[in-house]
Every structure is written in structure tokens, then in C-alpha cells.
């Protein structure tokens, strides 16, 4: 029988594990070796930022991402990896790992994203590995090259978009009507309706109106739940734009999308996760 890519020792499937607890990371690595002897674990990342850096450097075919990690979460790490992944390669297959989060489990099940519940059970891991081996074999047929246009890559983009847009469990926060941006001893009261777009800048967020720019001491992750999602659209992991300020969406031959704004000269890049939003009616 002809060996598949998943089983060929000359072409082992590659994976990265992101887990902030070293003992759990080692335990998962050991269980994976038992469930999938041919799998090559190329890196163990201790946090979300390291997972992003190593994933983009090593380009593994599978990512096992803990949901709750220092810095960026597993979901945020997956978003960053997808947005910066080389266009000529198929997106990695992602398995989320969570200790206890019923809301997250419901979201993953609704979106058909695979997940593992801590402590990882060998039978559940074996079932996940069997499915993943089939997907890897499908991506790497004997003698062939991986194609960037595979349906499972598009499915991952669709699933991440759904999960990133899912409401947070619990009571909804009150929507902001005014942004309070301090500059020295002055606090500028910026009406939210005047904001053209928000842009992440390290530990700050740039608030851009038609004529001014302000900095606020918060993260985009903290700000997003306080914005009306019907009016403010996330178009990149670091950019949120007011929908009425978008004049045009320009798509190039490679499928990349840029936004032309009504009252700002900048053009905003749209990541592949959010590009499907910009289709004609």
C-alpha cells in the first residue's frame, strides 16, 4: 500500500504545542507520541506570543493551543497566525485545549472546531489524531504539494471569524458613547460617533477621528466589547473601523482587501479572516 503523508517516516507531519504549564505540555507531548508515533513536535511554546513567533518561523501543520495562556490567549494566537501565515501554504490545523469553560466548548462544537478538554483523555486524543491524520494525508497526497486553496483552510477562517465574533458569556457591558483620552493634564472627550477607526499600538489604542489622533491606555481586546458591533467592524486583529466611514473595499489579484475611508487618507488592510465581510450584495 502506498504510504500517506501522515504515515511516511520521510515526511512526518509537524506540530506545535502551546501550553503555559510545563508538566501539562510534556504530558500532552507524551500522549501525542503514543497516539500518533509519526508526529514530529517541532516546538513547545510557553505562552501565546511565543506560539505565534514559533508557528510563523517553523510553519507546522498542526497547532495544539491552550485557550488560557499568559499574554495572548490561544484564540488570539490562532488569529495572529492565520493573519500572518504565508499565502502560498495551507493554514495549519488547529486544536484548542481548555481546562473548564462550558461556553467555549459550546462555541467550538457549534463551529465544529476541534478541542481537547483538560486533563486530556487518551481515547479522546486518539480520536482527534485519527481525524487529523486523515486531514494531513488529504493535504499531502503522495508526490504532491500542499495547496493553499484547500476547503479546510477556508473552514478554519470561517470558524475563527465566528469564535472571535461570539459574545462573551455573562452580562453584556454598557456600550461607550464617549472616549476619554488623556493628554498630560487634559482629558479629551471624544464622541464615539466621531471615531473613524481604532488601531492597536502596543499597550495603547490609537483613536483616530477625521481631524485628530488620541491615545488611550487600554487594549483593543478590552475596548471591543464596549463598541456596537453593528457600527464598528473589526477588520484586522489590530484594527476596528466605523462601518459608515468605509467608502470602498478594494480587492487585488491575490484576494487581499484594502479599505478606502471617507474622512482619513490612510488605507486599512483587511485580514483574511475578515475579508469575506466585504462582498457585494
Q: SS3 letters for 13-47?
A: CEEEEECCCHHHHHHHHHHHHHHCCCCEEEEEECC
| Residue-wise burial string across 40-56, b where 16 or more C-beta atoms lie within 10 A, e elsewhere | ebbbbbbbbbbbbbbbe
Residues 156 and 185 in one domain: no
The reported pLDDT for the residue numbered 167 is 57
Q: Is residue 3 part of a domain?
A: no
Last residue of some domain: 135, 164, 193? 164
Residues 41 and 140 in one domain: yes
What's the total number of domains in the chain? 2
Q: Is residue 5 part of a domain?
A: no
Q: Which pTM does this prediction carry?
A: 0.75
Last residue of some domain: 115, 137, 164? 164
Residues 51 and 149 in one domain: yes
Rounded CA separation 176/112 (Å): 33
Q: Is residue 7 part of a domain?
A: no
Q: Is residue 27 part of a domain?
A: yes
CATH number, residue 245: 2.40.50.1020
Are the CB atoms for 19 and 112 separated by under 8 Å?
A: no
What is the extent of the structural domain holding 133? 14-164
- Starting at the earlier edge strand, list the strands of the sheet with 204-209: 213-216, 204-209, 195-201, 239-242, 232-236
The reported pLDDT for the residue numbered 180 is 95
CATH number, residue 126: 3.40.50.2300
Per-residue pLDDT of the chain (281 residues; tens, 9 = 90+): 333 334 444 578 999 999 999 999 999 999 999 999 999 999 999 999 999 999 999 999 999 999 889 888 898 899 999 999 998 888 899 999 988 666 566 656 655 568 888 888 999 999 999 999 988 888 776 544 555 545 566 777 777 877 776 655 454 568 999 999 998 899 999 999 999 999 998 889 999 999 999 999 999 988 999 999 999 999 999 999 999 999 999 999 888 999 999 999 999 999 989 998 898 86
Q: Is residue 169 part of a domain?
A: no
Residues 188 and 141 in one domain: no
Amino acid at each position: 500500500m502506498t504510504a500517506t503523508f501522515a504515515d511516511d517516516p520521510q515526511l512526518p507531519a509537524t506540530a506545535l504545542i502551546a501550553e503555559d504549564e510545563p508538566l501539562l505540555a510534556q504530558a500532552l507531548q507524551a500522549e501525542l507520541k503514543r497516539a500518533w508515533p509519526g508526529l514530529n513536535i517541532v516546538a513547545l511554546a510557553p505562552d501565546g506570543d511565543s506560539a505565534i513567533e514559533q508557528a510563523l518561523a517553523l510553519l507546522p501543520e498542526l497547532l495544539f493551543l491552550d485557550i488560557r495562556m499568559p499574554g495572548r490567549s490561544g484564540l488570539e494566537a490562532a488569529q495572529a497566525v492565520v493573519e500572518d501565515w504565508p499565502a502560498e501554504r495551507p493554514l495549519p490545523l488547529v486544536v484548542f485545549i481548555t481546562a473548564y469553560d462550558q461556553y467555549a466548548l459550546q462555541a467550538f462544537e457549534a463551529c465544529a472546531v476541534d478541542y481537547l478538554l483538560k486533563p486530556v483523555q487518551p481515547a479522546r486524543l486518539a480520536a482527534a489524531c485519527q481525524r487529523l491524520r486523515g486531514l494531513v494525508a488529504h493535504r499531502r497526497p503522495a508526490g504532491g504539494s500542499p495547496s493553499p486553496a484547500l476547503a479546510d483552510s477556508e473552514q478554519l477562517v470561517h470558524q475563527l471569524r465566528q469564535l472571535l465574533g461570539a459574545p462573551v458569556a455573562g452580562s453584556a457591558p454598557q456600550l461607550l458613547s464617549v472616549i476619554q483620552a488623556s493628554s498630560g493634564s487634559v482629558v479629551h472627550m471624544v464622541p464615539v460617533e466621531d471615531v473613524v477607526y481604532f488601531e492597536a499600538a502596543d499597550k495603547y489604542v490609537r483613536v483616530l477621528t477625521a481631524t485628530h489622533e488620541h491615545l488611550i491606555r487600554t487594549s483593543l481586546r478590552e475596548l471591543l466589547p464596549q463598541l456596537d458591533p453593528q457600527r464598528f467592524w473589526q477588520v484586522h486583529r489590530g484594527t476596528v473601523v466605523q462601518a459608515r466611514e468605509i467608502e470602498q473595499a478594494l480587492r487585488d489579484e491575490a484576494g487581499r482587501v484594502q479599505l478606502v475611508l471617507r474622512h482619513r487618507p490612510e488605507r486599512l488592510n483587511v485580514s483574511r479572516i475578515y475579508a469575506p465581510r466585504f462582498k457585494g450584495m
